[in-house]
Amino acid sequence: MTLKIPKIIGHRGCAAYAPENTLEGLHTAADMGVEWVEFDVKLTKDHIPVLFHDDTLERTTNGHGLVAETTYEDIKQLEAGSWFGDSFAGIKIPTLEEAIDVLIDRNLGLNLEIKPCPGREKETAEVALDILSQYWDDHERLLISSFSHVSVEVARDMATDWYRDLVLPPEWPENWAELADYLDVSAIGVEGNNCTRDQINELLALKKPIMAYTINDPDRARLLQSWGVDSFFSDAPDVVKDGLLTVH
């Protein structure tokens, strides 16, 4: 099987136009005609997978403290929209199950990024993938990714027929190529705003799709595309789409 990913994936839903990692962001992406979205999943204290990026609650909610030390009962009381704009006041942090319902309803493909709190790399992947497997059967439109090689390894062992993506941090680990081979990934993720052409050439040697995050500048997207990057995570998918070269 060869992974067929769209050129543009809505980052954390559609993060330039709606609060990140919310159902509203997923709907916004769908309304814009985005084919796939990416979002982050981590666990509450009581092992409920929710859409959230940070280890702490402060940046995008009216809560305080660590997600890993907060129960879902407390998480669902939080408000997660007004930081972005008054019109989004009252928005809640969704569960993975709620998000999957929206994806299926709106016919969106998914890049699920496992974003474990420190020390929860294995269990976050196990819980998230177990729930995903109960609802999601379109394997052609699903990519499991993580910066954590432990989480990607769980995906490899639990769901061998699902596509996997190892996401590289800005500072690449020395053994990144060995990790990609060991994890049998279908794609590789790279920080696209500061990477070099030499780095992209190294990735091209793997002969796997290259996915760049987080690209909001159409000129940068076009340059990366000319280097051989296949797909772009963007907060503003419409802006980046207008900048890409059409390949027939």
Q: Do residues 201 and 179 make contact, with C-beta atoms less than 8 angstroms apart?
A: no
Adjacent-strand bridge partners of 111: 38, 143
CA dist 212 and 230 (Å) reads 8
CA dist 34 and 36 (Å) reads 6
Q: Do residues 185 and 164 make contact, with C-beta atoms less than 8 angstroms apart?
A: yes
Q: Is 206 helix (H, G, I), strand (E, B) or coil?
A: coil
Going 39 to 15 to 107 to 86, the CA torsion angle's sign is positive
CA dist 106 and 145 (Å) reads 22
Q: What are the CB-based long-range contacts (under 8 Å, 24+) for 77-84?
A: 80/19, 80/22, 81/19, 81/22, 81/24, 83/19, 83/59, 84/18, 84/19, 84/20, 84/60
Spatial neighbors of 236 by CB under 8 A, at least 6 apart, are 16, 17, 216
Structure tokens at 34: 């985005």
Spatial neighbors of 102 by CB under 8 A, at least 6 apart, are 23, 26, 27, 108
Q: Which residues are catalytic?
A: 11, 53
